[in-house]
Chains A and B, each alone.
Chain A
Amino acid sequence: MKYREALRAALEEEMERDPAVCVIGEGIGERGGSYKVTEGLLARFGPNRVIDTPLSEAGFVGLGVGAAVVGQRPVVEMLFIDFLLLAMDQVINQAAKYRFMSGGEGRVPLVIRTQGGTGNSLAGQHSQSLEALYYHIPGLKVVMPATPRDAKGLLISAIRDDDPVIFIEHKQLYMTDGEVPEEPYLVPLGEAEIKRAGTDVTLVAWSHMVLKSLQAAEELAAEGISAEVIDLRSLVPMDMASVLDSVHRTGRLVIAQEAVKRGGVASDIAANVVEQAHDDLRAPIVRVAGKNTVIPFNLALEKAAVPQVADIVAGVRSVMGVAVPG
């Protein structure tokens, strides 16, 4: 099943199960969304639950917050994570704070589905990896699935969660294929998965970087380096225990993120590992991350701006090279 079909299956199952679930966004009805995730939902569930909006990003994110506060479970689709910036007050000042500021009484069971990342020559305002902005804000959960199986299971968990979830897809993943169980299942938020077991080095990634990290691990295996690839799947809550456990076994850590290096989630993971497991490390941590740049339009420049498989391989080699013999 394709990633986008897995997302659609999650929406269909949840809308079937719970009449409070509805989807809201730009061109998601008749058009089925730019990436066809919501195709067919309008015909099946009707315009009362599949709501096409004008280009009023702050307005319809606020709409989602309000509907959620009174007990609906809206899934708001934001065509590009870059456009979610138009609704930052609604995300950060309203959705994220409502529960806390109401003394715990209020709930915002809202999912904002959006997508980011490079690869389509969409230039600076349609290619960003902005997860760190949301990761930084108390009150939000941040989910970034890499595979069709995780996409479906995590989206269902996000819809059932009582807090606002920023669910970030990657435009390079919609057409990827993968096994998806026939029977109902959930992937809980805050549970990382070892996508490939290894013994020499821990390679932590999320979203599209998981696929690149798995390719890198394959190449490294040919060189006799055994890399363990951990897919975080959700950044908030984050399964640090799995990362620490792996680092304890391998003694080396490489973190791969597409987002710019400065102030990114990789930096925070590195800090946490140093704080909590410094003595497990046999080599300095390496962050393989995007350049601190606006994403360029030209394809060669765009590729140079974000980590490629070769960069991850190089990052792993460097931590192996400087390793103190155990």
Chain B
Amino acid sequence: MEANRTMTAVSAESLLAMYETAATIRRFEQSAIEQYRLGNIRGYLHPYLGEEGIATGSIAALEPDDYIVSTHRGHGHAIAKGHDPRRMMAELFGKETGYCRGRGGSMHVASRSVRNLGANGIVAGGLGIADGAALAIKQRGGSEVVVAFCSDGSSANGMWHESLNLAAIWDLPVIFVLENNQYAVSTPIRDSARIEHLSDRAAGYGMPGVTVDGNDPVLVYEAMQEPLRRARGGEGPSLIECMTFRHGGHHVNDPGTYLPADELERWKAHDPLIVLRERLATAGVDEAAIAEVDERVERVMEEAVEFATESANPSVDEFLAEVAS
């Protein structure tokens, strides 16, 4: 997709922070895949590789006390929201020091401290939770916002419809960020929807909807501004469809052979990290500053893997005592 570049008020400093977030997500996923291949991580692992721009841009627009609801492909959301990569990695390893004490794993990372209401193993399953958190905010007269990450696949689910409609009729402070990576596992979106832009559905709920290039975090960040103003002002929800593409299969063991090679090449050339580097260059940030970030991210990942490796497994006895009643 050709980026629809606009003039932006994002400072060089903010750009560099976005780059660090996106690079952290990228290296976290690469490290997790490596650890998976080594046998240190089991189960399902749904990499966010290629989609980093969306979590990076949308969460950069939030305040710390805003909430997110995540998905099964949720490592990027969590890292952007401020989860510690060490405890993230430990959870993927199934260790006691992980965010869910090894009881949730990759698909269920949540943390009250950073207001991540949780990843979810059920597609569209978390959207009601997003509405509920937003209802609570409204009942208490708060100004926080809930970002509900969802996907092209989820838009085919009844819960997606119910949740957007409920948020709309009650003017709930929710921003539905639809990550359109164009494939629901292996099913292309063109086989699941008659419309070109899923954001067109927003009109049916009486809320604004836009489609943006999800691989440009700055465009995502900008697209968040009006929905945030609306949500904080009591004007209700919005839908932002962010176009993107996975760099691989649905999960770590899916080779993704159904992804057309030319399409994949095109999207890889428009990788969010490449886009951010271009933007940094335009903003006059020198290579040394970027290299410094890269080095820091490397260190963080080494520490994360080391922390996860050295952490203890949950105690089976403790678990059995917990479930004895």
The verdict on B128 contacting chain A, using a C-beta distance below 8 Å, is yes
Question: For chain A, which range describes its interface: under 10, 10 to 19, 20 to 34, or 35 or more residues?
Answer: 35 or more
Q: Which bucket holds chain B's interface residue count?
A: 35 or more
Q: Are B110 and A102 in contact (CB under 8 A)?
A: yes
27 contacts between A and B (CB under 8 A): A49-B139, A51-B170, A59-B159, A59-B162, A59-B163, A60-B166, A62-B162, A63-B128, A63-B166, A65-B128, A65-B129, A66-B69, A66-B129, A66-B133, A66-B135, A67-B136, A68-B132, A70-B117, A93-B125, A94-B120, A94-B128, A94-B129, A101-B118, A102-B104, A103-B100, A103-B101, A105-B100
A54 CB-CB contact with B under 8 Å: yes
Min CB distance, A9 to chain B, in Å?
A: 23
Chain B residues whose CB sits within 8 angstroms of the CB of A62 once the complex forms: 125, 127-129, 131-132, 159, 162-163
Q: 4 shortest A-B CB distances, which residue pairs?
A: A62-B128, A66-B132, A59-B162, A66-B129
Q: Is B270 an interface residue (CB 8 A)?
A: no
Interface flags, B130-142, vs A, CB<8A=1, else 0? 1111111111000
B residues engaging A (CB < 8 A)? 67, 69, 98-104, 108, 110-112, 117-118, 120-122, 125-139, 158-159, 162-163, 165-166, 169-170, 323, 325
Question: Which residues in B have their C-beta under 8 angstroms from that of A103?
Answer: 98-104
Q: Return chain B residues, CB-CB under 8 Å to A27.
A: none
| A-B contacts at CB below 8 angstroms, number | 125
The CA-CA distance from A49 to B136 in the complex, in Å, is: 10
Which of chain B's residues have a CB closer than 8 A to the CB of A93?
121-122, 125
Q: Enumerate chain A residues within 8 angstroms of B159, measured Cβ to Cβ.
A: 58-59, 62, 89
B98 and chain A: residue at smallest CB distance = A103
Chain A contacts of B67 at CB under 8 A?
A: 70
Task: Determine which of A61, A71, A104 lies in contact with B128 in the assembled complex, contact meaning CB atoms within 8 Å.
Answer: A61
Residues from chain B with Cβ under 8 Å of A90 in the complex: 125, 128
Closest CB of chain B to A325's CB: distance in Å?
38
Query: How far, in Å, is A323 (CB) from chain B's closest CB?
Result: 34
Contacts A54-B169, A66-B117, A101-B104 known; A71 to B99 CB distance under 8 Å?
no
Sample of 10 more A-B contacts, CB < 8 Å, known A58-B128, A63-B131, A67-B136: A56-B162, A58-B158, A60-B166, A66-B128, A67-B135, A69-B133, A90-B128, A93-B125, A101-B100, A106-B112
Q: B135 — nearest CB in chain A belongs to which residue?
A: A67
A89 x B169 contact (CB < 8 A): no
Cα A149 to Cα B189 in complex, Å, equals: 55
User: Please, which residues of chain B bring their CB within 8 A of the CB of A70?
Assistant: 67, 117, 132-133, 136-137
Cα A67 to Cα B111 with chains together (Å): 16
- Bound state CA distance, A236 and B246, in angstroms? 44
The reply to whether A72 and B110 contact each other, CB–CB distance below 8 Å, is no
Give the one of A54, A62, A90 with max B CB within 10 A: A62
Question: Complex: how many Å from CA A38 to CA B280?
Answer: 59
**Contact call A59/B100, Cβ cutoff below 8 A:** no
Bound Cα distance A189, B305 (Å)? 44
Q: Would A101 and B166 be within 8 Å (CB), given that A63-B132, A67-B133, A106-B112 are in contact? A: no
